[in-house]
Amino acid sequence: MMMKHSLYSTAALWALPAPLAELPIFLAVTAGQTSGQRRRSALKVAGGALMVLGISTMAGAQLLAFVGVSLAAFKSAGGLVVIIVGLEMLHGGSAILKDVDGEVHADDALWVPLVMPLIAGPAAITAVITLSIREVQRGSGVIPVGTLLAVTLSAIAVLLTLLFAMPLSKLVGVR
């Protein structure tokens, strides 16, 4: 039963982060970096996604219950965030954070928008919380091992995609 859940979770978590779709943003944020710096940036993004989704898997349901937010309300709010970011990008705005002086810091740009909300965004967080609740309710144990395995495999897929960003971008094109 856990293997079936792990496969189902892995399929969902390979589709939701969609690191291939985020290649242009990763390349824009890491423009001017050496290949070593770009590798470290890829590790930071994949590690950030692993951290966000891992914490969401282990403590997401408890955190939602603690603050009194239902899973349905969380899903709705997550959808609104995605819509707002999408509309901002359609209007030519940037989802990259700037400080009060208008400067962009490389590490901040890796976190927003890459780690959150694009790779480990509301949809992926909602998915891991839902998957972990389902796994625990089905009696697989207290720790949602199958969902954690899927999160780890997803982070590895993100890392490999970003490590090979340059050749992949040439293969799929800039658009």
Question: Would you state the pLDDT for residue 110?
Answer: 84
Contacts of 29 (CB under 8 A, 6+ apart): 41, 96, 106, 109, 110, 114
Query: Which pLDDT score, from 0 to 100, does residue 38 have?
Result: 94
Angle at 83 between CA 121 and CA 144, to 5 degrees: 25
DSSP secondary structure code for residue 151 in this structure: H
Tell me the per-residue pLDDT of 139-173, one tens digit each, with 9 for 90 and over.
Answer: 767 889 889 999 999 999 999 999 999 998 888 76
Q: What angle do CA 22, 155, 80 make, to 5 degrees?
A: 55
Give CA–CA dist 26/62, Å, rounded: 32
pLDDT of residue 122: 79
Prediction pTM value: 0.79
Q: What sign has the CA pseudo-torsion 63, 10, 39, 105?
A: negative
Top-confidence range, 22-26, 40-44, 124-128: 40-44
